[in-house]
Amino acid sequence: MASPFPIPLNALRAIEIVARRGALAPAAEELGVTVGAVSQHLRRAEERLGVELFERTPLGLRPLPALQQVLPQLSSGFTALADGLKALRAADESVLNVTVGSVFASRWLIWRVHKFTALSGIEVRLTVTGAMLDLGRADIDCGIRYGHGDWPGVETTLIGGRDFQPVAAPDLLAKFEGVDLGRMPVIEDRTSMLDWPLWLNAMELDPQTKFSGPVYSDASLAFDAAISGQGLLLAADMMSADAVSDGRLVRPFEYAVEGPSGYFLATAKGRRETRALRTFRDWLAAEVPASANGYVAQLNAKKPPP
């Protein structure tokens, strides 16, 4: 009987990774082989299948239509295999591996994750990175990503974070005796997807207003800069709530605008939803609305009256 796999599974895996990432190096890293070995996998697979799979371009390898058509099946198939292996190894349902960006981790999740563990008995292990890691990896159960929620090969659930507005330190506002957008420094976060013109339009202000101030390429540092009084910062209400509730930041305009981006819980398409993942999803759905006024406000609400 002829084998249903005319090429080795490792070669199939190499094809799937290169097709998604557009380069040989990510496949080499994940498979634990050299870039040359991955190149050989692709060449031999094309010879055995009798079809060319990739277009070699100056910008990388692009899957040709024949491969592009079956790529979703390959990706979901490898995700299902990874989940099956986890089940065979009796994967620990008391651990959830989450990849998340630095702002969500430092400004919101790290202050609340202990509550989730106490309620559920599930330990959350965070991989904090600005890179968009492959959610199909066996060592990642889910991710929290900021954007429009339309990433290929990913299923998403909106968490929140669409409302945004400027924030500033009280000392900065006192120094300028109020808010003067023409004179005050404005912090530029080069990683941010928030839109000053959208907010200015909603306020019936000139969307072409030019700002000057410190520039950062790390969103968490931009938050720290705002707290230290370096300038106004455009921030998602969800991320600024704690600093506002404890007085480190204020919202001088008290006018939030809803943008097209938000925070999403993301999983690879085809991934089995474990008990740990389902419990985390349900907890986020309840905790995010409850945290709208900030963590400090929540703690104060629980204190007995004097």
Domains in the chain, CATH or no CATH each: 9-88 (1.10.10.10), 95-162+261-301 (3.40.190.10), 163-258 (3.40.190.10)
| Dist CA 210 CA 186 (whole Å) | 10
Between 296 and 167, the higher pLDDT residue: 167
Per-residue pLDDT at 277 exceeds 50? yes
**Rounded mean pLDDT of 250-259?**
94
> Both tokens of residue 299?
């703690």
pLDDT tens digit sequence for 39-69: 888 888 888 888 888 888 888 888 888 888 8
3-class secondary-structure state, position 169: coil
Instruction: State the chain's mean pLDDT as an integer.
Output: 87
pLDDT at position 13: 86
pLDDT at position 86: 64
Q: Which runs of E-coded beta strand occur in 83-179?
A: 95-100, 123-128, 142-147, 154-160, 163-167
Q: How many Å is the Cα radius of gyration of the chain? A: 23
| Amino acid (one-letter) located at 158 | L
**Rounded mean pLDDT of 8-32?**
85
| Dist CA 166 CA 205 (whole Å) | 14
Per-residue pLDDT at 299 exceeds 60? no
pLDDT at position 57: 86
| Dist CA 162 CA 164 (whole Å) | 6
Q: What angle do CA 140, 62, 36 make, to 5 degrees?
A: 75
**Rounded mean pLDDT of 67-96?**
75
CA distances from 159 to 24, 147, 174, 209 (A): 34, 11, 35, 31
Per-residue pLDDT at 5 exceeds 50? yes
pLDDT band at 304 (very low <50, low <70, confident <90, very high): very low
HSE toward the beta carbon, residue 219, CA cutoff 13 A? 20
| Dist CA 100 CA 133 (whole Å) | 9
pLDDT band at 118 (very low <50, low <70, confident <90, very high): very high
Per-residue pLDDT at 153 exceeds 80? yes
pTM: 0.70
| Dist CA 18 CA 54 (whole Å) | 9
Best CA proximity match to 140, nearest among 155, 124, 158, 152: 124
